Amino acid sequence: MGMEEGVKDNTVSASASNLRHANQSRAVFPMRVLQVFLLFFVLVLGISVVSIHMIKYLKIQTLSPTTLISACDERTTLESFIKPPLSVWHSMNDSELLWRASMVPRIYNKYPFKRVPKIAFMFLTKAPLPFAPLWERFFKGHEGFYSIYVHALPNYTSDFSSSSVFYRRQIPSQPVAWGEMSMCEAERRLLANALLDFSNEWFVLLSEACIPLRGFEFIYNYVSRSRYSFMGSVDEDGPHGRGRYSYAMGPEVRLSQWRKGSQWFEINRLFAIEIVGDVIYYRKFKEFCRPPCYVDEHYFPTMLSIPYPNFLANRTLTWTDWSRAGAHPATFGKDDITERFLEKLPRAQSCFYNDQPSQVCYLFARKFAPSALEPLLKLAPKILGF
């Protein structure tokens, strides 16, 4: 009896101990779950706070799935890469622009898309284009075969109507000083903007005082069928040629390599890329070719004739009258414009075209005063062909 009671007491005592242990286990389990939940909550909260700060300070923008898909499609579509900018206006500075324009495909003259080669007409002007009505008539009906770029003074804003070929064709510009490197920088700026259009194959530099001497089709065929680029590159003796050379130009440019040519040129795409990508000759000419060394007459003719002497026609396509003494060519006004005067301009001198004698040496002419517009418009259909 005593033993049974002892056994019962031990059994009761063991049961009570097990019960307390079970209760303690049930109490610990919810605490652990709560701790894990609190730890997870703190972790999520921390990530959220960090993300908010990243969005605020690093300007990370949230893109919807549709936007991401659209962006990816745009990057991987050839059409989006080759399509020319809708507007020639942009926010790139000169360094960014020249860098962007100097990028070229390594597979040249073999394009994986249907490409119609165009002529880029680049107008280097102070402000208005007084002969815009004449050029409008010249370009009419030839859309898709030309591009237009206008470099004017920074404070000038054109007012062409939306129907004009010059509408929104003004590029970002910088001030230009006659006879200084800023002139060539403006020309490089025009070339760089034109190179952004992969269809531009030939590049013609013009001024606001230039006029065309032939119709568009004639000029397009003349330029596109030529085996040479039209840039003067003369080894000229005397004070206005070799006399402008500085021995500080060496060793990059030797005296025997010094060349002179007209500012107004026509070049192909390869040469345009060479000019905008140049960093070697640019530094030399900027530092050591200053008036009375006029850099726009020497920089491009010299730098292109050194590596490509056999690919330049060594003449310009723009007629200019230098027969009168002075630093600037003759200017022709209303009273000078006659049928006989216009007819003789393309054949003003003898020349070669694709190594054969040619009767047509000039496609453009300058320098014309605004008063010449009216008689030019009157005579253009009969004499100029448009």
Which 3 state secondary structure label does DSSP give 53? helix
**pLDDT the model gives residue 40:** 66
User: 50: which 2 tokens?
Assistant: 């960090």
Q: What is the DSSP string of 298-333?
A: THHHHHHHTT-GGGB-SS-SEE----SSSSS---B-
pLDDT, greater one: 115 or 7: 115
**pLDDT the model gives residue 63:** 41
For the stretch 90-140, pLDDT in tens is 999 999 999 999 988 877 678 888 899 999 999 999 989 999 999 999 999
Q: Is 90 exceeded by the pLDDT of residue 42?
A: no
Give the pLDDT band (50/70/90) at residue 189. very high
Check: CB of residue 89 under 8 Å from CB of residue 193: no
**pLDDT the model gives residue 127:** 87
**pLDDT the model gives residue 46:** 66
Helix (H) or strand (E) segment spanning residue 34: helix 2-58
Check: CB of residue 166 under 8 Å from CB of residue 160: yes
Strands 266-268 and 211-212: unpaired
Nearest residue to 172 via CA among 120, 98, 264: 98
Question: Structure pTM?
Answer: 0.80
Which 3 state secondary structure label does DSSP give 55? helix
**pLDDT the model gives residue 77:** 84
For the stretch 299-309, pLDDT in tens is 999 999 999 99
How would you list the strands of the sheet with 146-151, edge to edge? 146-151, 118-124, 200-207, 266-268
Give the pLDDT band (50/70/90) at residue 324. confident
User: 341: which 2 tokens?
Assistant: 């005067």
Q: Is 50 exceeded by the pLDDT of residue 186?
A: yes
* Rounded-to-integer distance, Cα 335 and Cα 337, Å: 6
**Tokens 């000419």, located at residue:** 285
For the stretch 219-244, pLDDT in tens is 999 999 999 999 999 999 999 999 99
CATH class of 81-105+112-317: alpha beta
Extents of the domains making up the chain = 81-105+112-317
* Rounded-to-integer distance, Cα 330 and Cα 325, Å: 9
* Rounded-to-integer distance, Cα 69 and Cα 352, Å: 56
* Rounded-to-integer distance, Cα 96 and Cα 73, Å: 25
Nearest residue to 187 via CA among 241, 260, 251, 264: 264
* Rounded-to-integer distance, Cα 330 and Cα 129, Å: 19
